[in-house]
A and B are shown apart, each in its own frame.
Chain A
Amino acid sequence: MKLDFSFIWKAFIQILPAMPTTLFITFLSVLIGFVIGTFTAIVRIYKVPILSQAASSYVTIIRGTPMITHLLIIYYSISMLLDSLAKHYHLSFNSSSIPMTAFAIISFSITAGAYLSEVVRAGITNIDRGQIEAAYSVGMTTTQALRRIVFPQAFAVSLPNLSNTFIGMLHGSTLAFIVSVVDINAKAQIVASTNWKYFEAYIAAALIFWGITLVIERMTSLLEKRFSVFSRGGVK
């Protein structure tokens, strides 16, 4: 069996249509995860009773278990819940009416939420307390202080971690094939097995992911440069 370099290109073309699916799942999961994460982080920082313990448990458990367990548990739990609800209330839809992609997104959002919670928490708590005190002393309300002083600084500091998490979720989205979502990974498997050219197909998939990752890294470093102007004393 000769190595078919031209097939790498052909595989590349065949796999590419799955890229939007991967990107869609990743972006949505990170977005929802960010909302969950920010909420969780704030609850923990302000030590809201009961909620903050729940939040801490959530973060610890998710980060201490593999992503695939999240996916499997969420998938089967929601399906079972929906099915028993459907049976009970004689609803017209059940678990099979939900697109598989939704299961993937829900699960990945929950995963992302835990990791992003730590990123957000780090970003906020590492802002010098003096900054907030100064904000208060010039008469800002808490909301103004957060919006004008804390969040911009927190964002600049968190950029590398945010980027890491995004890339991690991008790579993690390959798990979606387990719930039959046709993402880049699943497509690669299909292309590989139908053509009996495994190496070429998977190299193509790897290159696609590598490419996306490099683009994100590049964008992040550009963003970092722009947003960190203040930390380098105004030197652009």
Chain B
Amino acid sequence: MGADFKAGLIFEYFIKLLPFIKISLIIVGSSILVGLGVGLLIALPRMYKVPIFQRVSQIYVSFFRGTPILIQLFLIYYGVPELLKLVEVDVSRIDVLYFVILTYGLHSAAFISEGIRASVSAVDRGQIEAAYSVGMDGYQAFKRIIAPQAFAIWIPILGNLLIGTLKDTSLAFTLGVMELTGQSQTLGLLNRHFIESYLALALVYFILSVFLEKGFILLENRFGKYERTSVEKKEKTFKIRNLFGKMNRDVVVVKEGTRL
């Protein structure tokens, strides 16, 4: 299984991986942007209970949360061009990167939409009643009172999602995207020092995760200064984290204990 273990190589590989952080972050950033846009679109019909679209949203969310990201990557990259050929659209020359961003975008959109719904319904009902009782209409109440508070609740959720998506991008190499994982495989193959290169890879991801976490804690503090005490908040965030650091179901954050 290759040459002997050389610990010093880990550092060397680490340096060689650093330039590839950029592409991984580009994927994460673009995907989240796509996810925000699509996620908002998906969330609205469910929040306002629009008849047919509500169902469509539910199915969308269920599908993208109910199937593995790897399958989604293959499905969209290999499958969608086939579908489009039927309507005479040729996408064979579009770069793989766009497919990857599209897939991660659609995937995260499902989680983002649930996050938006959870955050809005987690706002204390009394706040809404007070807003109405001072004479605000629905739109004003939402803009001035509900949205800011929902946003503060949403930040840790977004943070989890971001870290989760970062970890998910480690699968993009299966479609041939030369990002961190792909590069570490190349490095390993060069001298058969696989363990060192994958340890370096893990280190890179770990440091990125830590950075993102700390960054979000700062954001939480800035935006949520009027929210509950930090002890309660830690518990809320705590329960949101799961396997891919993403929010699947959130019985705890939503006060009524409803499922998403």
Contact = CB atoms under 8 A, between A and B. Distances in A.
Direct contact of A and B (CB under 8 A): yes
A133 B191 CA distance: 60
A203 B79 contact: yes
A188 B71 contact: yes
Nearest to B3: A80
Contacts, number: 148
Contacts of B206: 61, 64-65
A199 B83 contact: yes
Nearest to A67: B167
A198 B82 contact: yes
Interface residues of A, number: 54
B205 A79 contact: no
A171 B67 contact: yes
A175 interface: yes
Contacts of A68: 170-171, 181
Nearest to A83: B1
Interface of B: 1-2, 5, 62-63, 65-72, 74-75, 78-80, 82-83, 85-86, 163, 167-168, 170-171, 181, 194-195, 198-199, 201-202, 205-206, 209-210, 235, 238-239, 241-245, 248-249, 251-252, 259
Contacts of B65: 213
24 contacts: A64-B205, A64-B210, A66-B168, A68-B171, A69-B181, A73-B199, A76-B1, A76-B194, A76-B198, A79-B1, A80-B2, A80-B195, A115-B243, A122-B239, A160-B259, A168-B244, A168-B248, A171-B67, A185-B68, A188-B74, A198-B82, A199-B78, A203-B75, A213-B66
Interface stretch (A42-50, A137-145, A147-155, A204-212): A204-212
A174 B66 contact: no
Interface of A: 1-3, 61, 63-70, 72-73, 76-77, 79-80, 83, 95, 115, 118-119, 122, 126, 160-161, 163-165, 167-172, 174-175, 185, 188-189, 192, 198-200, 202-203, 205-206, 209-210, 213-214, 221
Contacts of A165: 242-243
B58 to A, nearest CB: 12
A66 B165 CA distance: 10
A202 B65 CA distance: 16
Nearest to A199: B79
A206 B238 contact: no
